């Protein structure tokens, strides 16, 4: 499958900050601007090392980014904090778009900052009706299944790519296809299991993974009738796989039968978003619709419909400890019933 611009970026970048600065320099940024970027990014890098013992900016998650923002309060004006946050967001957005990082941990932080910093840029505002029209324009079963899965589950692009057939519990009497769902899904029909374990370069289910899951805990996400129908359309044409792990989503182009990669998914979304006028080269988080935008869409609309931030956090994989244990225990009633009652329709 073809890849998006920048997807050939090396995966072994030793200094992501310098890599980012070099690109900004090539694009004509002044030395003064570059110095400001480097000062802020190196401060954040030092904060990660000292506060969380995280040696690589690529390993930072939302929690660490938010902690850094909080550490700035009291020492700087709100406008300065907003500027520093935008620097970090642009850094992560760029590194994600070129394929060096899996996702942008600052995306949700920027949304949450809007409550206290009015200068925070906002994302493109897309209604459910507009998103439904967007999905209706996608004809290929794989591409349609990928987009609808992201929209209906809120999972990250790497988490989608790491799904195996065993992570899906779905009755398929319409298809001549059999597989055994993983232990833990027996009593949870019509559901997807999203693990917290896969990491780039590690072996999971007998296959080395090219993407990382960043959930605090494993999550079971309900599948409604709409997502079931779209998945069945994909499974009906899903090719044989070269992997014993039996990935759920497989390439149907240049890398036929191989697990879909994050760059493949970004290419799919960018292609359709460009056709819709929702993506342009050089556009940032505020303008472009990317796979991570669907996680934002899921969070915003489901939270508004349920009025239950805890359930949305559980489904996103953002909560840990006894909180997630509570929702895991109540998955069969509170979580599933609330989800099925409130989840929006996109087809």
Per-residue confidence of the chain (347 residues) as pLDDT tens digits?
333 434 455 556 889 999 999 988 888 888 888 898 999 999 999 999 888 887 789 889 988 999 999 899 888 877 788 888 989 999 998 998 888 888 899 988 887 775 444 434 467 889 999 999 999 999 999 999 999 999 999 999 999 999 999 999 999 988 888 899 998 888 888 999 999 889 888 999 999 998 888 887 888 999 999 999 999 999 999 999 989 999 999 999 889 999 999 999 999 999 999 999 999 887 877 789 999 999 999 999 998 898 877 888 888 887 655 555 665 666 666 788 899 999 999 99
CB atoms near residue 184 (< 10 Å): 13
- How many angstroms separate the CA atoms of 286 and 126, rounded? 12
Tokens of 182: 């993983």
Structural contact between residues 88 and 45, judged by C-beta atoms closer than 8 angstroms: no
User: Could you give phi then psi for residue 195, rounded to 5 degrees?
Assistant: -80, 160
Structural contact between residues 287 and 124, judged by C-beta atoms closer than 8 angstroms: yes
- How many angstroms separate the CA atoms of 282 and 93, rounded? 11
Residues 6 or more apart from 344 whose CB is under 8 A from it?
A: 128, 301, 302, 305
Domains assigned to the chain = 16-119 (1.10.150.130), 128-173+221-342 (1.10.443.10)
* Helix count and strand count (H, E) for the chain: 14, 5
pLDDT at position 11 is: 55
* Residue 278 CA to its chain's centroid (Å): 18
Give, to the nearest 10 degrees, the angle between helix 78-97 and helix 16-26.
90
pLDDT at position 2 is: 35
CB atoms near residue 317 (< 10 Å): 23
Residues 6 or more apart from 292 whose CB is under 8 A from it?
A: 96, 103, 104, 107, 156, 157
pLDDT at position 73 is: 85
- Here the contacts of 268-275 (C-beta below 8 Å, separation 24 or greater) are 268/143, 268/146, 268/147, 269/146, 269/147, 269/294, 270/4, 272/134, 272/137, 272/138, 272/143, 272/147, 275/137
Closest by CA to 285, choosing from 70, 74, 49, 110, is 110
* Residue 82 CA to its chain's centroid (Å): 23
Q: Which helix (H) or strand (E) holds 100?
A: none
- How many angstroms separate the CA atoms of 241 and 244, rounded? 8
pLDDT at position 322 is: 54
Give the neighbor-by-neighbor strand order of the sheet with 191-194. Answer: 168-169, 191-194, 219-222
Residues 6 or more apart from 237 whose CB is under 8 A from it?
A: 141, 142, 252
- The pTM of this model reads 0.69
- How many angstroms separate the CA atoms of 288 and 67, rounded? 27
- How many angstroms separate the CA atoms of 341 and 313, rounded? 17
């Amino acid at each position: 499958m073809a890849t998006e611009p920048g997807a050939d970026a090396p995966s072994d970048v030793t200094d992501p900050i310098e890599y980012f600065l070099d690109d900004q320099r090539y694009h004509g940024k002044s030395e003064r601007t570059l110095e400001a970027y480097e000062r802020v990014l190196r401060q954040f890098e030092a904060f990660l090392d000292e506060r969380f013992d995280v040696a690589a900016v690529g390993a930072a998650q939302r929690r660490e980014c938010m902690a850094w923002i909080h550490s700035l309060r009291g020492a700087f004006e709100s406008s300065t904090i907003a500027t520093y946050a935008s620097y970090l967001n642009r850094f992560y957005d760029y590194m994600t778009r070129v394929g060096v990082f899996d996702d942008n941990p600052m995306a949700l932080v920027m949304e949450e900052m809007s409550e206290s910093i009015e200068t925070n840029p906002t994302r493109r505002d897309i209604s459910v009706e507009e998103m439904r029209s967007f999905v209706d324009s996608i004809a290929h079963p794989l591409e349609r299944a990928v987009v609808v899965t992201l929209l209906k589950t809120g999972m990250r692009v790497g988490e989608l790519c790491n799904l195996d057939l065993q992570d899906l519990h779905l009755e398929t009497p319409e298809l001549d296809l059999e597989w055994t769902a993983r232990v833990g899904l027996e009593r949870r029909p019509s559901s997807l299991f999203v693990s917290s374990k896969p990491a780039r370069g590690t072996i999971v289910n007998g296959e080395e993974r090219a993407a990382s899951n960043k959930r605090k805990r494993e999550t079971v996400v309900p599948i409604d009738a709409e997502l079931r129908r779209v998945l069945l359309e994909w499974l009906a044409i899903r090719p044989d796989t070269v992997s014993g792990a039996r990935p759920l989503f497989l390439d149907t182009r240049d890398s036929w039968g191989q697990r879909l990669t994050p760059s493949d998914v970004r290419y799919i979304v960018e292609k359709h978003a460009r056709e819709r006028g929702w993506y342009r080269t050089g556009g940032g988080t505020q303008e472009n619709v990317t796979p991570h935008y669907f996680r934002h869409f899921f969070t915003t609309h489901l939270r508004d419909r349920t009025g239950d931030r805890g359930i949305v956090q559980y489904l996103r994989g953002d909560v840990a400890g006894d909180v997630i244990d509570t929702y895991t225990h109540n998955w069969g009633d509170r979580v599933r019933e609330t989800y099925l009652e409130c989840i929006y329709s996109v087809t």
